[in-house]
Structure 1
Amino acid sequence: MQQSTPPVHPLRRLAQYAHAYRGRVLLTTLYSILNKLFDLAPPVLIGMAVDVVVSQEDSLLARFGIVDVTDQLIGVGLITAILWGFESLFDYLKAVGWRNLAQDIQHTLRLATYDHTQRLDMAYFEEQSTGGLMSVLNDDVNQLERFLDVGANEIIQLITTIVVVLGMFLVAAPSVTWLTVVPIPFIVYGSLKFQQRLAPRYAAVREQVGILNSFLSNNLSGIATVKSYTAEEYEVGRAAAESDQYRRRNAAAIRLSSAFVPIIRIFIMGGFIAIMVFGGILVINGRLNVGVYSVLVFMTQRLLWPLTRLGDTLDLYQRAMASTGRIFRLLDTQPRVIEGHSTLPRPVRGEVVFQNVSFRYQWRDYEGYSDNRPHVLNDLSLHIPAGSTAAIVGPTGSGKTTVIKLLLRFYDVGSGHIRLDGRDIRDLSFADLRGAIGLVSQDVFLFHGSVRDNIAYGTFDASLDAIVDAARTAEAHDFIMALPDGYDTIVGERGQKLSGGQRQRISIARAVLKNPPVLILDEATSSVDNETEAAIQRSMERIARGRTMIVIAHRLSTVRRADRIFVLDNGELREAGAHDELAAAQDGIYAALWRVQTGER
């Protein structure tokens, strides 16, 4: 039996993204260490001051030639000013360094995740919610930034504190060092146990964040439906249920993480009391200098007390690792539609051939993907000559739109072949295949921006003259000029400031500007009025010259001038021919549809 490869810990994978910044990481780590070294100086300075006051001419500074007590105290003050200045400098440098590193690593990881997400196939997006993906791309990446901004520095400074303070104890008072060391193993062990128990709780929190974001995103997208059915109270109730689940999952993590500090404080108290009592006994017995004793008491506090911060640091760490795990699970998702590497011969003519194509959508359940769903297309063969206009019609659910999705390779055929200019589209690169095809969908998507930007989308270097020419061809120029700012008018999110017909004609202008050898109109007139339909039909006649046109339509009046009409029913080709030929057939599917739409008996 083949052994499965154990999953790589998210922290190790995160280190791969930080590798490009290793020089800055090392430098910023040095800033953190130096900041902590100078931060540990005050207890030493206090010990020196106590030594001067108690020992006077016999103090440590007196051995360096500074005999006068006043001069010794002034010297301690000058040293304090210098060390505090360095501590402040390195505090600034490490803060700037870690924050900028957090921003840069976050930026790199977000772009890598977004780029990978865009390259996944359409099936993935149909199975995932937009809100869930947004929670990964935004919330989870931001959670990681919080840990890099604060947690990494605290871990480095804690290690520095332990090494430096224990070193001082071993040099100054080796006989009492063990009193300080004893609590540390208990604290570390307790931290690790808390970490193990916190991990699944924070994973559950991050999953619920995705569910909540998905719910809110979906409802805001459908706000018109919510309002039209006066369902605001109902939706608030649903939001309350999801938010309450998020609150309860967070509460479970909070109860555990909040218990960490009180428990650790007990061990810290034991170590602090031990060094204070036993160290004091050594001073009374003359075995330990009172100044050194002062330093040791303060250093014990500086060593053990930061360990209480370990709880907060572990809290940040576990949140970050839960988020990082979700990010890398997304990055590990591989597309099922694999890009080819071949190119089309130039110039592209636009001949499209479907040869014995069968296809069915896969159903995803808890055990993975299954092929239990019926075929949408069955042994479909079509031939659309280059430069011709072909129409694909049929009842709802006959497979018309699936034909277009397969031609664009949003999905791969189950069996058979699709060829463009004689090349199997599975062998072509996406840029070559989709660059040769323009799509005007029934569900027009306009980006938040100007009319000009939306027409030029995909042809980003187009001149204004070329944009205007494309708009004239699509019969969109006149209404665009009537807008408040003409081509610079902002269309709003998804083009909501424009009517359906206006959005449709801008979409056609976008496809015209791309000037593809193959142009697909998928139900381009399904949601427009008769006047707009007439304008779109006039546009189609101009656009069709010199290119292959594929028109998907319910309104048969839109396709009556097509060179060839293919009639689909239940995923199979039932009829093919010109309009007059098909409409004349007494028992044909097309003829029946034509009679229904024209009112003929």
Structure 2
Amino acid sequence: MTSATPPLRALWRHHRRYRPRFALAVLMTVLNTAADVAPELLLGVAIDIVVRGSDSFVGTVFGIEGRFEQLVVVAVVNALVWVVESLTDYAASVLWRGLAQAVQDELRTEAYTAVQAMDIGWHERTPSGQVLSVLSDDVNQLERFLDVGARTVLHTALTVVFVGIVFGATSWQVTVLAFLPVPVIAWGSIRFQRRLEPLYADVRSTAGEVAAVVAGNLGGVATIRAFTAEQRESARVARASREYRLANARAIRSSSAFVPLIRMAILAGFSATLLLGGWYTLQGRLEVGLFTVLVFMTQRLLWPLTDLGQTLDLYQRAMASTRRIFGLLELRPSAVEGSVALPSPPRGALELRGVRFGYDDGPDVLQGVDLVVPAGETHAVVGTTGAGKSSLLRLVLRFADPRAGSVLLDGRDVRELTWDSLRGAIGYVSQDAFLFHGTVRENIAYGRPDATDAQVEEAARAAEAHDFVAALPDGYATVVGERGQTLSGGQRQRLALARALLRDPALLVLDEATSAVDTETEAAIQRSLARVTATRTALVVAHRLSTVRDADRIWVLSAGRVAESGTHDELVARGGAYAGLWAVQTGEHAPSSP
């Protein structure tokens, strides 16, 4: 939906396939409302029988003289009405609730899919708590309105119509007076709706802020405790929560003011029916039974309108939420999937040609980078912090596209490739090895869910992870916890490497994979890499130069450019940027490798 498209219209257009279900739900509500209004009519008929006897409506139409026999007819009809009312109420409830559940399920899934497809840069800029707020709370707000509010609005409108028909067939003077409050209520509804719209937009926005702060703090609880910032962060959450409470309070004050207005209008309408209808009855111009019907019908007409305040509240919350949901659905990633598949099997040859890249409107981070990694070789990219190493990997994985130049895999521009073809050929191990809440086996097999237990174990052995996994309480069935927090950093890295190896990628990409592990773990990972890179292409970004000294070629980045490249020995002997880095890390120049 665009900003000018009303949320309800956007929902109607977006969920075309639910229109038949919606129509059936409306039909059941129509029948239910008709059956709901009928008992008041039957009450009037019963009073008419008691007062007029054989001259009553039932006696005249059906030719039944006995009052009791006429009441039996009314009782039978009333029983049928109640059965219809009960059945249609059940059917309407199931249909409306089923519709609400189907819409919220579909919207949540679609919104998550849209978010998941967004560029990594978008996720880095957007607080995850705000996204979670839309996917959970906002979707639930819409579901509550479709479940309860929509049916209430329809039921109330239909009641007005049916009661109006009864009034119109009885006395137009009483009808005019009884219905005088309806325009007032309609005017009040429109006015309050417009007033509430920005207020509830603010409510949803502040709800997102609360979710963002809480989600961020839960993810950084260790840092908060390490810096004894518990009170400061509690105060920050309290401020965000207070803003949410105040936004809600402003909306509630305006929403609640609507109910007294409706009650005063109801009082006027009911009083008019009571006085004018009673006067007509005393003058013999209106039958007692019809007067009774009109009195009860007035209550039936006007009293449900007292719920409009709550329904309007639900509606405005839902519409504000719908705008936020469709805001996610309208997101479009800057990187669009290609349509070409790599020839099988892929070789993993990688090339960057004149690549320029930067973030948003900022300056270039990579400036004309040319880099070639032949198939089957291991190349490393090194450099100081900010040199552009991680940005280069973003382009290889196509988490972003270059401003100029191209990234080629097996001679094909990665922008032409399908996601499955591109990323299916790459095994990626990041510096911060992310593990999902689940078992060790599930995490290793994440990129290849159909892998056998033997294949999972083989990958773990290749990553030198099998021994520590076997020592866990439940082996490969051990649950590692959220983000793998029950494991050490080195263990997580080895599982991440096993996960990448299980896919048998043509190109293995390692981003500082050993920067946060101890010397023993680094040696184990190095042994693993030496074996697994012997038969595949590898691109290694490293801070510790000792981990890449045996690479076939080392590329040194400086200020977004390739400063120099060569083998470890060549670069040390050259005495350039790499030699300086090596001297800083080791305190001496490296001896030549034998």
Decide: shared fold, TM above 0.5: yes
The corresponding residue for 1:320 is: 318
- Give the Cα separation in 2 of the matches to 1:218 and 1:259: 37
Of 382, 387, 391, 1:398 maps to 387
Deviations 1:172-198 (A, max 9, x none): 223422112222111101100100000
How far has the Cα of 1:75 moved from its partner?
3.1
Query: What amino acid is the match of 1:391?
Result: A
For normalisation by structure 1, the TM-score amounts to 0.96
Query: What amino acid is the match of 2:577?
Result: I
The corresponding residue for 1:574 is: 563
- Give the Cα separation in 2 of the matches to 1:512 and 1:239: 42
Secondary structure of the residue that 1:456 maps to in structure 2?
A: helix
Shift in CA distance, 139/44, structure 1 to aligned 2, threshold 3 Å: same
The corresponding residue for 2:13 is: 16
How far has the Cα of 1:6 moved from its partner?
6.8
Deviations 1:512-566 (A, max 9, x none): 0011100011111011111111110010011102211011111111101100001
1:147-186 correspondence runs (5 A): 147-186=145-184
| Structure 2 gap ranges (5+) | 590-594
Secondary structure of the residue that 1:312 maps to in structure 2?
A: helix
How far has the Cα of 1:110 moved from its partner?
0.8
RMSD between aligned residues: 1.4
How far has the Cα of 1:134 moved from its partner?
0.3
How far has the Cα of 1:152 moved from its partner?
1.1
The corresponding residue for 2:592 is: none
How many residues in Structure 1 have an aligned counterpart in Structure 2?
588
The corresponding residue for 1:27 is: 24
Query: What amino acid is the match of 2:264?
Result: I
The corresponding residue for 2:378 is: 389
Secondary structure of the residue that 1:112 maps to in structure 2?
A: helix
Of 55, 58, 70, 1:58 maps to 55
Query: What amino acid is the match of 1:596?
Result: V
How far has the Cα of 1:92 moved from its partner?
1.6
State yes or no: 1:36 paired with 2:68: no
- Give the Cα separation in 2 of the matches to 1:209 and 1:526: 38
After TM superposition, the structure 1 stretch with the greater mean CA deviation from structure 2, 264-273 or 493-502, is 264-273
The corresponding residue for 2:216 is: 218
State yes or no: 1:465 paired with 2:462: no
Secondary structure of the residue that 2:534 maps to in structure 1?
A: coil
Secondary structure of the residue that 1:521 maps to in structure 2?
A: strand
1:326-475 correspondence runs (5 A): 326-362=324-360, 371=361, 373-475=362-464
CA contact 1:17–1:108 (8 Å) conserved in 2: no
Secondary structure of the residue that 2:556 maps to in structure 1?
A: strand
1:509-520 correspondence runs (5 A): 509-520=498-509
After TM superposition, the structure 1 stretch with the greater mean CA deviation from structure 2, 249-258 or 6-15, is 6-15
State yes or no: 1:594 paired with 2:582: yes
- Give the Cα separation in 2 of the matches to 1:375 and 1:12: 43
Of 454, 463, 483, 2:472 maps to 483
Secondary structure of the residue that 2:563 maps to in structure 1?
A: strand
The corresponding residue for 1:84 is: 82
1:524-535 correspondence runs (5 A): 524-535=513-524
Query: What amino acid is the match of 1:182?
Result: L
The corresponding residue for 1:249 is: 247
For normalisation by structure 2, the TM-score amounts to 0.97
Secondary structure of the residue that 2:364 maps to in structure 1?
A: coil
- Give the Cα separation in 2 of the matches to 1:18 and 1:266: 39
After TM superposition, the structure 1 stretch with the greater mean CA deviation from structure 2, 404-413 or 342-351, is 342-351
CA contact 1:140–1:323 (8 Å) conserved in 2: yes
- Give the Cα separation in 2 of the matches to 1:296 and 1:305: 14
Q: Percent identity?
A: 53
Query: What amino acid is the match of 2:332?
Result: Q
Secondary structure of the residue that 1:376 maps to in structure 2?
A: strand
Deviations 1:431-482 (A, max 9, x none): 2111111110001110110100000011111111111110010001111110
Query: What amino acid is the match of 2:137?
Result: D
Query: What amino acid is the match of 1:114?
Result: Y
Secondary structure of the residue that 1:544 maps to in structure 2?
A: helix
How far has the Cα of 1:396 moved from its partner?
1.1
Query: What amino acid is the match of 2:585?
Result: Q
Shift in CA distance, 567/451, structure 1 to aligned 2, threshold 3 Å: same
| Structure 1 gap ranges (5+) | 363-370
The corresponding residue for 2:42 is: 45
- Give the Cα separation in 2 of the matches to 1:283 and 1:292: 9
- Give the Cα separation in 2 of the matches to 1:18 and 1:178: 40
Deviations 1:177-220 (A, max 9, x none): 21122221111011001000000000000011111100000000
CA contact 1:186–1:267 (8 Å) conserved in 2: yes
CA contact 1:17–1:109 (8 Å) conserved in 2: no
- Give the Cα separation in 2 of the matches to 1:84 and 1:186: 33
CA contact 1:25–1:101 (8 Å) conserved in 2: yes
- Give the Cα separation in 1 of the matches to 2:72 and 2:343: 86
The corresponding residue for 1:366 is: none
How far has the Cα of 1:18 moved from its partner?
3.1
- Give the Cα separation in 1 of the matches to 2:154 and 2:73: 31
Query: What amino acid is the match of 2:448?
Result: T
Query: What amino acid is the match of 2:378?
Result: T
